[in-house]
Structure 1
């Protein structure tokens, strides 16, 4: 796949970017059930993020990863692993996402070859460094306040995305942090190609409907941008 086609495919995949680990789902509900419903509702990419208090370890973590990986393959959406390059390679995941405190993006790019590489960026300097390291997309945020990530920084607002675009950063961007169906359109209008959510889908009473509402908001904003 040439660079232009890959970038176009990444932009499409970022539209409704769902992140989840075992600790993000209501007690007694299998994570794979929530993922299946999210995909039916319109989720376009999934990131397996098994971190934080109560997260799975060892064999249980890997077994869940395989279940979710196979589900994504069956449904035809990319499967990304958060931070853990070894696990991503074991699963033949479609890519890896790293934050600023994780393994250096340049080292991850060397290890994963042409697989997708996403990098979290809080401001333009981090975004530019990620681009130099070979990132395929940027996860910008937190846009709004969030309690889902224990180590989240203060909210930057949509202006963080807008400023990156004004400075000429053209790499695909997904907004993250406190995003809901109600505020997703503003994130896209600011220049994002999509929105990334955890609890907006994983904690919803009806995950399929939650994903559908997010997809509708994103598609509408893109069409009118």
Structure 2
């Protein structure tokens, strides 16, 4: 089962001087148990090395975004990306109930459903889905976009299994404190 909190990486949003591996390790120390490694622009060897290093973090489930990696514990597919050919844990980015249903039909273990709220990471992405969009799915749904400790509990109350967060963690001065606040809000 996918945990209630998943962090998506984006090293471009990190504050100056912050490294991605250090940030993820600090978040794991604060209780984070799953991360989706994006970093699509890295050379294949560098991205593979990043996944390998994060897999070594005790208790951390590492999910590769879009690009299958044999070291990762799962794959998170883009909205229009087909189901992976190998049977394993995978999820998909969705933007409607119909897309979430299709992902479930194809064997997804979870979906992200966005946008939940206005997102600083993707300005103009929207409008936000209605709160009712998050309830009653056959697979766990993670609300994504514009999520922080102030609205994470509301996403759960709307029916989401949990939340997927990128910007609020990646842009934070203290990412581990943000993770701790999100976990508290989701408890």
TM-score w.r.t. the length of structure 2 is 0.91
Give structure 2 stretches of 5+ with no counterpart. none
Q: Distance in 1 between matches of 2:181 and 2:162?
A: 13
Residue in structure 2 matching 1:65, options 51, 54, 59: 51
Report whether the alignment pairs 1:203 with 2:171: yes
Partner of 1:132: 105
Are 1:95 and 2:74 an aligned pair?
yes
Kindly indicate which of the two structures has a greater share of residues assigned to helix.
1
Q: C-alpha displacement at 1:182, in angstroms? A: 0.3
Secondary structure of the 2:76 match is strand
Q: Per-residue displacement from partner, 1:47-106 (whole Å, max 9, x unpaired)? A: 10113xxx42233222222222222xxx21211000002xx22x2x110001223x302x
Look up the match of 1:4.
Answer: none
Paired with 1:213 and 1:157, the residues of 2 have a C-alpha distance of: 24
- Distance apart, 1:26 and its partner CA: 2.0
CA-CA distance at 1:211 after TM superposition: 0.5
TM-score, structure 1 normalization: 0.77
The CA distance in 2 between the partners of 1:170 and 1:81, in whole Å, is 23
Alpha-carbon shift at residue 144 of structure 1 (Å): 0.7
Matches within 5 A, 1:8-19: 10=1, 13-19=2-8
CA-based RMSD of the aligned residues comes to 1.9
Larger radius of gyration: 1
Equivalent position of 2:155 in the other structure: 187
The alignment status of 1:117 with 2:100, answered yes or no, reads no
- How far apart are the structure 2 equivalents of 1:137 and 1:16? 12
What stretches of structure 1 move > 4 A for 4+ residues in a row? 149-153
